Amino acid sequence: MNETNEIMSLVQHAEARDFFSESKDAQGLNELAAKILGTENLVGSSDDFFNFAIELARLKDYDMACHMFKRGIDRYESSVDLLAGYLLYGIDCDHHKENCAEYYNKLCSIPDKDWTWRGYSFSLDYLQTRKEMAGADNQQEKEWCETEIVRLIEAFRLKYKGNERVYLAEARLYSSSEPEKEFRILEEAVNTLSNCPRCAYRYVELLIDRADGSDDYKKALAALKKALKIKPDNTDVNVADVYFLQGLCLIEIERENDNGDIDEDKAIEIFRLFQMAQSDYEELTLSPKYKRVFQREKAILEKKTKMICEDV
**pLDDT score at 31:** 97
| Residue 129 reports pLDDT greater than 90 | yes
Give start and end residues of each alpha helix (H) in the chain.
14-22, 26-37, 46-58, 62-75, 80-90, 97-108, 117-134, 139-159, 164-172, 179-192, 197-210, 214-227, 239-254, 264-278, 288-305
Cα–Cα distance for residue pair 41/120, rounded to 1 Å:
31
Average pLDDT of span 171-176: 92
| Domain parsing of the chain, residue ranges | 1-159
pLDDT in tens, 36-81: 999 988 999 999 999 999 999 999 999 999 999 999 999 999 999 9
**pLDDT score at 82:** 98
Average pLDDT, the chain: 88
The pLDDT > 90 percentage for the chain reads 66
Q: Using 50, 70 and 90 to split pLDDT, how confident is the model at 234?
A: low
**pLDDT score at 312:** 42
**pLDDT score at 304:** 66
Architecture of the structural domain at 1-159: Alpha Horseshoe (1.25)
Cα–Cα distance for residue pair 273/244, rounded to 1 Å:
6
pLDDT in tens, 237-248: 888 889 889 999
| Residue 305 reports pLDDT greater than 80 | no
**pLDDT score at 307:** 55
Q: Evaluate whether 185 touches 172 at the Cβ level (below 8 Å).
A: no
